[in-house]
Amino acid sequence: MDKDTFGFCFLSAVPMRRQASHTAEMVNQLLFGDTVALCSATPGWLLVRTLADNYEGWVQDKQLLLSDAPVATDCVVPTESAVVCNGMQVTAPAGASCRQAWLVGATPQAPTHDIVATARTFLGAPYLWGGRSKMGIDCSGLAQVVFKICGIALPRDAWQQASAGTPTTLEQSQPGDLAFFSNPQGRIIHVGIVSAPHGTSIIHASGRVREDRLDSNGILDDNNTYTHHLATLRHLLQPANN
């Protein structure tokens, strides 16, 4: 691009694809209020990089508002909210960035810091690779959006999130910690949010957002079968008196 150009997501949720095609894999999803930098273009498509977490993908050009400077927002909506932007009313999904002045008929809510309670509002949401909303969400998208609502920024993918915060053990884990799971080769492939003291349960996206039992071996489903192998846990929350 000849100069810095930015895109603003003015729709509820917009797919980011691996290639400039509607049939290409969706690798991520922009939520209302997300801002991206434009990297390159091809007819009908823009290669963009998110300002929040430096994630790259292709977006249809009709689904962004372009400008020569990032569009500022001043709040994160904790639940679906009606907003007016670009002359039309749309639904901003939970975790969307917004301006308080755009909210329709709603008093801006104070940010919540209850990670587990926020995660539970996503229970039942269907799993969607690359998704970040209650209409469809993946495991790392769930962690990223829940923590964003609670005021903590996380990278997009599980393997990146596994470097955030500080290590902890299952016995010392607290509700709101992140648990990571690996494949047989040791690569981090899944993440969930610890939902009970000492890591006895976890909220994660697998088929749908669900709450399952957790132990030192991994996640146990309703059939008492291990579905994911526990690799490591990370503590991100700051002490209450800090």
Domain 1-110 has CATH 1.25.40.80: no
pTM: 0.94
Angle at 104 between CA 130 and CA 99, to 5 degrees: 60
Is 85 noted as a catalytic residue in this protein? no
The pLDDT tens digits of the residues spanning 38-66 come to 999 999 999 999 999 999 999 999 999 99
Is 235 noted as a catalytic residue in this protein? no
Report the alpha-carbon distance of residue 115 to residue 101 in Å, rounded.
26
From the candidates 9, 85, 98, 139, which is the catalytic residue?
139
Is 113 noted as a catalytic residue in this protein? no
pLDDT of residue 242: 35
CATH number given to 115-235: 3.90.1720.10
Which residue ranges does the chain devote to CATH 3.90.1720.10? 115-235
183 within 8 A of 189, measured Cβ to Cβ: yes
Phi, psi dihedrals of residue 148, rounded to the nearest 5°: -60, -45
The pLDDT tens digits of the residues spanning 189-216 come to 999 999 999 999 999 999 999 999 999 9
The pLDDT tens digits of the residues spanning 108-144 come to 566 678 999 999 999 999 999 999 999 999 999 999 9
Which residue ranges does the chain devote to CATH 2.30.30.40? 1-110
CA distances 151 to 108, 113, 115, 148, 237, Å, are: 15, 7, 10, 5, 10
From the candidates 9, 150, 204, 228, which is the catalytic residue?
204
From the candidates 9, 190, 228, 235, which is the catalytic residue?
190
